[in-house]
């Protein structure tokens, strides 16, 4: 397992984001790591600008995830993984440290599912909505796109490879962000296209509070990526928070123990990003690779 840490800042905000754990999409690797690094930097910059201007952790994580959803290199929004029938069904969630949460599963119409998840949180009495129609998005001022918008040729090729020979190395991936703002509030957001070749209607951990996302002020904000079913069964995000809140574990220990016990010992791979209530950042994964950016200033530390 690889674990990376950034100490708590003396003052000011913290931000971390991930672009998925696993491997790169084979058809997109010819250009090397540079395009992924550029995408991570752009997403970090979008979130950091919010935080540097005194904005909220929630606004920051949504801004970062929006950029990743718009980048076809990552498995969220445009360029998302496709189901067995060649469709894009998108999941996303947001959660604030104050305990508010919103999520969407099997979204087919929202250009940016992260903003749809936020609309569920802020404008409905619900926490999770499945497959909302275009009219729902329009009522809340969200951009509607045709299903073809999400589909890219590299993802079509990836689906064919998976369905033909059962390739699994790059089947899952997710994007997400966690932040602590200058006021000490934390928030998390997660977004994904799911697992390549998944059954239509399959829902992973990304829209499940406590599994792929969790936040509590003065404790931690978490976003996960990896084998979604394992994150759900192990309630991974909440398990990390519970270790900190109830046993007094430090952030790195809580992350390391949960990933090892709920993923590693069960034969699954994945990773998490976490920002503590004090602004400390931990990024950890037991997968071969994990795209991430983290920092307490405008220039992030990248892992690709």
Per annotation, catalytic residue among 174, 190, 192, 258: 174
pLDDT at 92: 98
- 301 catalytic? Reply is no
Nearest Cα neighbor of 285 from 58, 23, 97, 9 is: 23
Q: Could you read off the pLDDT of 134-160 as tens digits, one per residue?
A: 999 999 999 999 999 999 999 999 999
Please answer whether residues 83 and 194 qualify as being in contact, where contact means their C-beta atoms are separated by less than 8 angstroms. yes
Strands across the sheet containing 213-216: 2-6, 281-285, 270-276, 220-226, 213-216
Tokens of 273: 């990003």
Give the pLDDT of residue 21.
Answer: 84
Predicted confidence at residue 211, as pLDDT, reads 98
Domain residue ranges in the chain: 2-303
Residue 12: left if φ>0, alpha if ψ -120 to 50, beta else—which one? Answer: left
| pLDDT < 50 positions in the chain | 27, 30, 169
User: What pLDDT is attached to residue 24?
Assistant: 59
DSSP-derived letter for residue 199 is P
Given this model, what pLDDT does residue 304 score?
Answer: 78
What is the per-residue pLDDT for 33? 79
- What whole-number distance in Å separates Cα of residue 92 and Cα of residue 225? 12
Gap between the Cα atoms of 135 and 138, Å rounded: 5
Given this model, what pLDDT does residue 173 score? 83
| pTM, full prediction | 0.95
Query: What pLDDT shows up at residue 236?
Result: 98
Q: Please tell me the predicted confidence (pLDDT) of residue 282.
A: 98
Q: What does the alpha-carbon distance between residue 115 and residue 42 come to, in Å, rounded to a whole number?
A: 18
Looking at residue 23, its pLDDT comes to 56
State the CATH architecture for 2-303: 4-Layer Sandwich (3.60)
pLDDT at position 170 is 52
């Amino acid at each position: 397992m690889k674990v990376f840490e950034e100490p708590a800042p003396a003052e000011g905000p913290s931000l971390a984001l991930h672009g998925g754990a696993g491997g790169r999409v084979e058809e997109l690797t010819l250009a090397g790591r540079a395009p992924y690094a550029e995408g991570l930097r752009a997403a970090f910059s979008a979130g950091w600008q919010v935080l540097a201007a005194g904005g909220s952790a929630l606004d920051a994580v949504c801004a970062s995830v929006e950029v990743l959803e718009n980048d076809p290199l990552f498995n969220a929004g445009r360029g998302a993984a496709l189901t067995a029938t060649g469709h894009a069904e998108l999941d996303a969630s947001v959660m604030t440290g104050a305990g508010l949460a919103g999520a969407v599963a099997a979204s087919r119409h929202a250009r940016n599912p992260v903003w749809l998840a936020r609309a569920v949180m802020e404008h409905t009495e619900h926490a999770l909505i499945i497959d909302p129609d275009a009219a729902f998005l329009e009522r809340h001022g969200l951009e509607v796109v045709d299903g073809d918008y999400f589909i890219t040729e590299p993802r079509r090729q990836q689906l064919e490879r998976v369905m033909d020979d059962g390739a699994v190395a790059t089947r899952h991936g997710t994007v997400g962000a966690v932040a602590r703002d200058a006021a000490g509030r934390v928030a998390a957001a997660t977004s994904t296209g799911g697992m390549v070749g998944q059954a239509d209607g399959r829902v992973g951990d990304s829209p499940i509070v406590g599994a792929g996302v969790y936040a509590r002020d003065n404790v931690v904000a978490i976003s996960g990526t990896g084998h979604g079913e394992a994150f759900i069964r192990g309630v991974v995000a909440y398990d990390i928070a519970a270790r900190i809140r109830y046993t007094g574990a430090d952030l790195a220990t809580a992350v390391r123990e949960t990933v090892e016990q709920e993923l590693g010992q069960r034969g699954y791979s994945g990773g998490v990003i976490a920002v503590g209530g004090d602004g400390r950042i931990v990024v950890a994964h037991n997968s071969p690779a994990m795209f991430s950016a983290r920092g307490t200033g405008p220039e992030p530390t990248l892992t690709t």
